[in-house]
Structure 1
């Protein structure tokens, strides 16, 4: 459903707590919800609010062109619910998403009143089950092209204060080299539906104690290795997972990506996507700017990845 004041997507205001708060105030009545007392949980790729008094989470997309993606996420959530797959659920029966002031807004059932993440083993269980599902054509999932996504992220770094021309040139050159290496990869897992951003940060503990998968807007068709690479990287490169956590993930999914010859290339591509995303955050805080500089230096030298901080 599209509603609002007629603002164009290209005319959306700067993405700040103040501007997204105004969008929240306008959007909640569209779903017969009250915005008073809402808590801003996160301000990143999306603004995420938890409403007061009702188990509802509101997501407001930073990307003003995210309408098609979020329409697909809503269709996907309703299909996963019909399949009884443990994933986040759309709130209510109203048509979604809404568009107000050039922003795309969706409403979701809150998993619980606080953020409690699942384990690497539970992520493996969810991915194994997800990868067994056969998606209907009606979902119209896109083929995942990591370099289309990466190119867009790198273009958005132009003109960003705190990202030098030298840094952008280095990242562009690295992307070009990696695309050639990626095109030569021999994937061994089946091609099919993936989550697209599979990591423990997207697995939440439900009120009933079960683990559920969230953030459905990155679903696509791709080699399943994409859904395994972040957990492998978080262990092998950054030390964000322990050896025991990673071994549990491998045991429960049934495949160790670190033993696949293409792992390092896939990890380099995924890592560059992470760095490009961080570059878009440098103006938001000194912490983000420092993390971007740290990550670019690591790519230049091949050292210091254990000093990266998760965001």
Structure 2
């Protein structure tokens, strides 16, 4: 794949749930750095677009694009990275289901079913 943004530092799980918000100073800091690495910058951007499975809206994606200054949606590699991210999100559910968590098993089976059939709706749960 061709990565037009080049390589750099990656968070690895950049999404709003890993942001620490300080309303007093209007500062946002990214937390949860256990997947940090270096690699193609598009990897972190793809996480934002994969968020449509959890309810991220078109207007939110457009605002992100405008703020970031790059339209990754126009890049032909985005579907590949979002599909990889989809698979990555199964890991914690596999572990929890293996330990006997029925709710995790239900979500895992639901996600696998949507992936097998190319379904993007209904939304995935984040629990």
> Secondary structure of the equivalent of 2:8?
strand
Indicate if the aligned counterparts of 2:42 and 2:72 stay in contact, CA closer than 8 A: yes
> Secondary structure of the equivalent of 1:261?
coil
TM-score by length of 2: 0.88
- Alpha-carbon distance in 2 for matches of 1:290, 1:304: 17
* 1:169-248 → structure 2 map (5 Å cutoff): 185-206=1-22, 208=24, 209-235=26-52, 238=53, 240-248=55-63
Indicate if the aligned counterparts of 1:281 and 1:289 stay in contact, CA closer than 8 A: yes
Partner of 1:118: none
Displacement of 1:307 in angstroms is: 3.0
Pair member with larger Rg = 1
> Secondary structure of the equivalent of 2:122?
helix
Change (3 A) 1:264 1:213: same
Partner of 1:296: 112
Change (3 A) 1:256 1:239: farther
- Alpha-carbon distance in 1 for matches of 2:12, 2:113: 26
Change (3 A) 1:285 1:261: same
Partner of 1:74: none
- Alpha-carbon distance in 2 for matches of 1:239, 1:217: 22
Is structure 2 residue 103 aligned with structure 1 residue 262? no
* 1:17-96 → structure 2 map (5 Å cutoff): none
Deviations 1:212-265 (A, max 9, x none): 111122211100001101111113xx2521122111111111112211101111
Q: Which runs of 5+ in 1 are unaligned?
A: 1-184
Displacement of 1:276 in angstroms is: 2.8
Q: Which runs of 5+ in 2 are unaligned?
A: none
Report the number of matched residues: 125
> Secondary structure of the equivalent of 1:255?
coil
Structure 1: 4+ residue segments shifted above 6 A? none
- Alpha-carbon distance in 1 for matches of 2:39, 2:13: 12
Higher RCO (Cα < 8 Å, 6 or more apart): 2
